[in-house]
Amino acid sequence: MATEILLTSENFVKTVSSISDNTAGKYVRPSIREAQDVKLRGIVGDCLLAKLKAIVAEELTEQEENAAYKDLIERAQYFIAYSAIVEIAQKVNFKIANAGVVKTGDENMEVVGEPDMAKVQAYYQAKADSAALDLQNYLLENRAAYPELKECDCSRIKANLYSAATSGIFLGGARGKVLRPGRGCCKR
- Output the pLDDT for position 187: 42
Closest by Cα among 88, 177, 165, 90 to 133 = 165
Q: Mind listing the pLDDT tens digit for each residue in 49-69?
A: 989 999 999 998 899 988 999
- For the chain, what percent of residues have pLDDT higher than 90? 23
Q: Which ranges constitute the DSSP H helices of the chain?
A: 10-15, 25-34, 41-57, 67-93, 114-141, 151-160
Residue pair 83/14 in contact (Cβ under 8 Å)? The answer is no
Residue 77 DSSP class: H
What pLDDT, in 10s, does the model give residues 113-160?
777 778 888 888 888 888 888 888 888 888 889 888 776 666 666 666
Residue 42: Cβ within 10 Å count = 13
**Measured in whole angstroms, how far is the alpha carbon of residue 149 from the centre of its chain?**
17
In this structure, are residues 48 and 146 in contact, taking their beta carbons and an 8 Å threshold?
yes
Statement: the pTM of the whole predicted model exceeds 0.85 = no
Quickly state the pLDDT bin for 1 (edges 50, 70, 90).
very low
> With bands split at pLDDT 50, 70 and 90, how would you rate the model's confidence at 80?
very high
Please report, for residues 51, 69, 123, 136, 169, the alpha-carbon distance to residue 148 in angstroms, rounded to integers and kept in the order given: 8, 11, 32, 15, 31
The average confidence (pLDDT) of the chain is 78
For the chain, the C-alpha Rg in angstroms (whole number) is 19
d(CA 65, CA 51): 13
